Structures are given as C-alpha cells and as structure tokens.
Structure 1
Amino acid sequence: MMNGFQEKFAYVNGIRMHYVERGTGPLVLLCHGWPESWYVWRWQIDALAAAGYRAVAPDQRGYGLTEAPEAIEAYDILNLVGDLVGLVKALGEEQAILIGHDWGAAVAAYAALLRPDLFPVLGLLSVPYMPRRPVRPSVRFAQIAQECHFYQDYFQLPGRIERELEEDVRRSMLGILYSASGDPVVKGQPANFAIFPKSTRFVDNLTLPDELPRWLTETDLQYFVAQFERSGFRGPINWYRNIDRNWALTSFLDGARIMQPTLFLAGELDGVVKMAAKDYDALESNVPNLWKKHLIAKAGHWVQQERPDEVNEFILNFLAGSVHALAGGAAESQPKAPAGKFR
C-alpha cells in the first residue's frame, strides 16, 4: 500500500491483473502507456478520490505485477480492450469513465468505439484519436523511416529492443522519461529517439539529464526501474508488434467517430502531438462531442506527471459536467451519480 492506495488483483480476460484504487463514487479507469505502470497516475488518483470518484489504475497486460502472456498476438487490441471490459465487471460496476495516456489513450479510444455502453465518458492524454487508415501501418513505417530507423518499426524484431533496454534498466528508464519530457527542449537540448540513424541503437539516442527533473524524484525513478526489472520489456513491446494485426482486425471501424463526451490534453512539447498533427487538427470532426483539446505550456509527453495540478483541474472540470449530464442532473462541484452508473 502506498499513500493510502489499495493494491489488489482481479482475474480478467484470462490473466491476473494488478490494480491500485482509492476513493468511492463513479468509477474512473486510468490506463497508462509505454513504458509506464499504474504509478504514472499517482497524482490523479488522489485528486479523483478527493473529488468523490473511485479511481482505479491497473498495471496493464504485460506490465508490473500483471501477467504477461508469451504469445505476441495476446497483446492485440481486442485483448487489451477485453482486459478493461473484464476489469469493470470484476470491480462490480456497470460503467466506467475511461482516461488513457499514450498507448492507454489508443486502447481507451478503441474501447469507447467498441463498448460505448460501458464507457460513456472518455479522456485522452498525449495521443489523439487516430481513425483507422486505409494503408497498413507497416507501409507508413517504411515511408517515415527512409534512411533512418523509426522507433515503432525498430521495435518489431523480437528480442532486439528488449536486450537493449534491459542492459541497464535504470539508464533506459531515465533516458526515455527525460528525453520525451519537455525539459530537454526547454533547456535547448531537444532529444529525438523516435527517428534515429541506422548506424545506432535506440538506446544510443536517449538524452540523459545531469540531474533529475523536478517532476521525477529518485523514489519515482526507482519504482519504475524495479517494475521493469521484474517484468522485463517483452510484454510491453509486444503491444507495438500488434499494430498491423490491430489494423487487420478492425476494418469494420473505417470511418468510425467517437461520440462520447471527450477531453484531450497533451504537453505543447510532446513529440507525439507533432507526429499526429493531422489527427490532432481533425479531433473536432472525428470526435463530435469533444469538450476541449488543450496543450499545456512547456510540458512534454508525460503531461500528467510533469504538470499534475493543471491536468487534474482539467479532468475534474470535465468530469463535473460530463458525468452529471449523463446522470441527468446539473453539473456541480461534486459528483452525484450513483457509483458505477451514470445514466
């Protein structure tokens, strides 16, 4: 137990899933990305619980204390969405507010499309909703990479990136966390490990700080390191190895729009927003009930850790109106919907 958080396990979709929760009220599922864990939501769990919500943050499939199946295809989008559906049921709830960051945002978007009955309110951090394209992702990888490596393509070969990252987990985690944050850009040392020379390895292109950034303590870093020393990187990287499979499985979603009330937040220095600029610009069209899209100044990819107070304020203001509208009541400062059911 950490800071009053309750650590628990549930059996969902054929795996044993670890999660952390705090608070009572309408259920909010917080879905992390790569290479993260439930711990990235530590500031949001407290804020949501204090505001009258039941905040639940799982270690997703392959991460932390959650089981990591061996087969690559066990990490496709249908299994990842199935995990969230199973967790809601295991928690004894009928619906959940779904908030995701990075890969967690991508899975949350698919969950919202596939089970709007179960996930009536949506928050996306860092990764905007990306409608299915007519071209297979691996074709786009080749177009992006050209004379350089593109990290998502580089991750496809089993074993290679795992060996690199696991040579020195502390260095890998610190380099990824720092390089993708807003700090290097603010300090005039922009880092780019998304596209890198083919004569180098992924880990060779990580930028390491002289001292930890103010938003990342040694305790925080050691927690991440311990989790990946335990679980390894195979399961988390397998999410990337299903990108083409996910495309093949979801042809029925061509042209689909997300209709739920939705919030989008990211750091203005987040490289993902730059890579997904067209999807960011098209959010109002692809997500007709978009409540707000906002870029937080001088923040990078880890926006809920780099700027927790601002992120919490946006999330709570968004939920105050969205949850009450679904419950049929007026928006106030505290939620009044019965736990687990919003309409």
Structure 2
Amino acid sequence: MDLIKHTLVEVRGLKLHVAEIGTGPKVVLFLHGFPEIWYTWRYQMNAVAAAGYRAIAIDFRGYGLSEQPAEPEKGNFMDLVDDVVALLDTLGINKVFLIGKDFGSITAYLVAVVHPERVSGLVSLGIPFLLPGPNCIRNDLMPSGFYITRWQEPGRAEADFGRLDVKTVVRNIYILFSGTEPPTARDDQEIMDLVDPSTPLPPWFSEEDLAAYASLYEKSGFRFALQVPYRSLGIDCGITDPKVTAPTLLINGQKDYLLKFAGMEDYTKSEQLKHFVPDLDNVFLDEGNHFVHENLPKQVNELIINFLSKHCD
C-alpha cells in the first residue's frame, strides 16, 4: 500500500483523486462501486502492477477525495463516462483495460460502447451488461422495501443514514451487501435497521479496512453517491443498440445478492448477454459474494492477470 502514489488530477473542472502504482504502456484503470472507493482495489492494483502493468484507480467525482460537482442532484452515468475519457486524455493514455465493480462496471460498459477505440478489454465484477434507463433494475418486481427503491426516494436515505455516524453506515452496508439476499426492509423499518449492532464485520474485511473507507466517506458524504448510481439508474442515457466489442470477462460470486434481483441470475447466465457483449467469458466463483474481489482476492487476481495477458496487444 505504501508504494501507491496519490495525486489530484484536474478533469472537466473538478479535481479527481487518482491512486497509481506500476509503470509502462500497458494501463489498467479500476472503477469502484458503492460503498466503495479507490481503496477497494488494493489487492488488484498491487497484483497487476507486479505483473508489469500500470494500475490506476480513481475516486469518482463526488466520492472520497475527489471534488463534488456543483449540483450533485443533476449527476448521471454519462458524467462518469466523460470523466474517464477526459482523465485518459489528460494522462496521455490512448487505450486502457477497464476493470469495474458494481456501478463502476456500468460506467466501464458505457465507455466501451461510446468510445470503443479507447478500450483494450473489460473486466466486470458481478454486473452483467446493463444500460441505465427505466428497465435497468426492475424495482417493480421486487418487494416495496427493496433498498434501491428506498434509496431512490429523495431524502429517505439521508434521514436513515443521518441517525448514525459515517463509519457505522459504511459498516452496515458492507455487512448487508455481503449477504445472499437483497436488503429489504419492512414498512416499519429503514434499511439501517436491518443490521444488529453486534453483527461482526465479514472475516475478510478488517477494522483497518473499515476505517480507510469511513475516512473517505466522512469527507465526501453520500450526497453524490445517492444520485449516482441510485437515483440516476432510471435515466435513459440515449444509447440505442449498444455493443461492447472489446473482449470482456464477467466474474460473478455465486453468493452475490444481486443474483436475487428479479430476472438477474437468468440474464447473467443467458445467451442474451452475448447480443450486447459478443466476446464474453463468464466465470462463477462458488464462494464469492458481492465483494468477490475482496473476499477472494487471489482467485480474482489470477483471473484478471490471465485475461490481461491473453488480450494484451
């Protein structure tokens, strides 16, 4: 971790936090999800750098040490796509391997669709190809207390999170998202009520890890994080007939609660995915959960490095 360098890079009028390790022309850019931050890639960054790649991880705008946009509530996924491309331009990088997790995967897919010439290959953790829009996540087919539905309601998550300190909020979300069922509250509950305070952290996630995450969210808060991904998931991004032409690896944890979203497991395992991502390999890790890159880092690192080696120009 001490070898990872940290800088702030001006991108489209905002300073983005960039973490980097390794050198050379072969570049891997890591895109985090929620409740994550650049730090979520600590195992992967060191592994790919040791394999001869330049590893870069960012905090998305509004997250961690990156600056907040002036109007967070107007943010959408295309802002993140434009940030990624502008960052590559600023750093003088023509082509890159993208590795995404959670909504970072959606961003990676969009970059590959809109700017195929910039993407050498793509690795997604847990998220099959999804396009933001009305049918991205079928909340209507999930229970009314489904966490995404709750967090999309203006003010509700803010009030729920606001009862607790930031560290407890991140702790609770990590515990909830490590489970096999989508977090769902009763009518008389909020999402934070689903975690008993005595519940331990997952064994692969230390108090030191939690402190690293919490310190970054204490700076950024959750204002932009609730907008992107949650409240912008249903915003149509204006793309028709999308295709990801870059070689793609989808790594799934068989215990990922996302597979319990309406239709998600069938879609993830279907040939329909090949319509959007023709050059796709799909791997399931039996003991992997939503944080498969953190709970099974050695297996995930091996899959990533093999993929990079196979598709390096």
The verdict on a shared fold, with TM-score over 0.5 as the criterion, is: yes
Instruction: Letter of the 1:301 partner, please give it.
Output: H
User: How far off its partner does 1:208 sit?
Assistant: 5.4
Q: 1:176 to 1:82 in 2, by over 3 A?
A: same
User: How far off its partner does 1:130 sit?
Assistant: 2.1
Does the CA-based 8 Å contact 1:97-1:119 persist in structure 2?
A: yes
Query: Which residue does 2:91 correspond to in 1?
Result: 91
Q: 1:82 to 1:264 in 2, by over 3 A?
A: same
Q: 1:104 to 1:62 in 2, by over 3 A?
A: same
**From 146, 159, 165, the counterpart of 1:163:** 159
User: How far off its partner does 1:160 sit?
Assistant: 2.3
**From 242, 247, 250, the counterpart of 2:232:** 242
User: How far off its partner does 1:214 sit?
Assistant: 2.4
Does the CA-based 8 Å contact 1:17-1:66 persist in structure 2?
A: yes
Percent identity of equivalent pairs: 33
Does the CA-based 8 Å contact 2:182-2:260 persist in structure 1?
A: no
Query: Which residue does 1:298 correspond to in 2?
Result: 287
The alignment partner of 1:123 has SS state of strand
Could you tell me how far apart the structure 1 residues matched to 2:290 and 2:3 are? 27
Rg larger in 1 or in 2?
1
Query: Which residue does 1:256 correspond to in 2?
Result: 242
Unaligned stretches of 5+ in structure 2? none
Query: Which residue does 1:24 correspond to in 2?
Result: 23
Instruction: Letter of the 1:65 partner, please give it.
Output: L
User: How far off its partner does 1:62 sit?
Assistant: 1.0
Instruction: Letter of the 1:162 partner, please give it.
Output: E
Could you tell me how far apart the structure 2 residues matched to 1:206 and 1:192 are? 13
Instruction: Letter of the 2:6 partner, please give it.
Output: E
Could you tell me how far apart the structure 2 residues matched to 1:105 and 1:67 are? 21
Could you tell me how far apart the structure 2 residues matched to 1:138 and 1:319 are? 29
The alignment partner of 2:145 has SS state of strand
User: How far off its partner does 1:300 sit?
Assistant: 0.8
Aligned residues: 306
Query: Which residue does 2:51 correspond to in 1?
Result: 51
Deviation per CA, 1:234-288: give whole Å up to 9, x if none. Answer: 111111211222x1x32x32x3221110000021100113322233123333311
Could you tell me how far apart the structure 2 residues matched to 1:13 and 1:203 are? 35
Q: CA RMSD in A?
A: 2.0
Deviation per CA, 1:59-92: give whole Å up to 9, x if none. Answer: 1111101011242454212111001001111212
User: How far off its partner does 1:209 sit?
Assistant: 6.0
Q: 1:143 to 1:267 in 2, by over 3 A?
A: closer
Query: Which residue does 1:174 correspond to in 2?
Result: 171
Q: 1:178 to 1:139 in 2, by over 3 A?
A: closer
Report whether the alignment pairs 1:154 with 2:150.
yes
Could you tell me how far apart the structure 2 residues matched to 1:138 and 1:273 are? 14
Using structure 1 for the length normalisation, give the TM-score. 0.84
Q: 1:139 to 1:300 in 2, by over 3 A?
A: closer
Could you tell me how far apart the structure 2 residues matched to 1:137 and 1:233 are? 24
For residues 141-220 of structure 1, the aligned pairs below 5 Å read 141-145=139-143, 148-166=144-162, 167-181=164-178, 184=179, 192-193=182-183, 195-206=184-195, 210-220=199-209
